[in-house]
Amino acid sequence: MSAIPLEYLKKIGSYRNMKVHGETVTVIADAAETSALTESRIADFRSHLVRNNVKVVGVDSKEKKEVCLGSTNILSDYVLVLYAGNRCYIFHYGVNYVIPESLLKIFRDPNICFVGSFVLNQSYYKSMNSEVISAGKLAAMVLKKPGLTTSALASIAKEAGIQYDGPSFESKAVIEVDWRNPKVLTAEMVKIAINDAVAHYLIGCKLFKMLDDN
């Protein structure tokens, strides 16, 4: 239970008109305050997928790193980022947060290709690895270029022909969060968090369009 009514909790954690890789993105970051709020976010995401007949979802996860007075502490918690059709959702998971079964079920949809990466260091989530394909592996298969399997995201994006504004080499695997409240993300933290998921989505969509056009 939260001290804040659900109708107002739903309005917290919304970031609008964020510009990432040429996309204008609305981000909904779940504050993990109540199970009711998290389930509401998941239901919204599921409705978004159905309403827009989504075939590709960009996936990424970042480990949270606390920053306090110049020192850092790697947490055992992550953010899971899901992106499709200008809508991005961020969920917390790890030692202190458990991914609900309702969200895990979305990954089992056989009509959706989940493109990206998902850090799963807990045995409970191991089975989900098979539901996500890396952008490099998908690009290698579609473009018939095996070297792309382990290429940096910038190189994969270039081969797929999409706009990519992220780092030239490896993108960040962590996001720095404020130790005073690691669940609250600034706009800059959010932009770092969603960078790869948006790129994964754009790459997946472009590659599937190539297949459709053949």
Strands (E), the chain: 14-20, 23-29, 56-68, 71-84, 87-94, 113-116, 132-133, 174-178
pLDDT confidence tier of residue 58, bands split at 50, 70 and 90:
very high
pLDDT confidence tier of residue 26, bands split at 50, 70 and 90:
very high
Q: Closest Cα partner for 185 from 8, 25, 31, 19?
A: 31
Sequence letter at residue 198:
V
Q: Closest Cα partner for 132 from 144, 120, 142, 140?
A: 120
pLDDT for the residue 70? 65
Residues of the chain with pLDDT > 70, as a percent, come to: 86
The pTM for the full model equals 0.90
Q: Cα 153–156–46 angle (5° rounding)?
A: 70
pLDDT for the residue 144? 97
The packing angle between helices 153-160 and 135-143, to 10°, is 30
* Domains, in order of start, for the chain: 6-213 (3.30.420.10)
Asked if residue 45 lies in contact with residue 106, where contact means CB atoms within 8 angstroms, the answer is yes
pLDDT digits (tens, 9 = 90+) for 105-155: 898 899 999 999 876 655 445 555 568 899 999 999 999 999 999 999 999
pLDDT for the residue 133? 94
pLDDT confidence tier of residue 35, bands split at 50, 70 and 90:
confident
Average pLDDT over residues 188-213: 95
Phi, then psi, of 117 in degrees rounded to 5: -145, 155
Alpha carbon 104 to chain centroid distance? 14
Q: Closest Cα partner for 52 from 211, 201, 214, 165?
A: 201
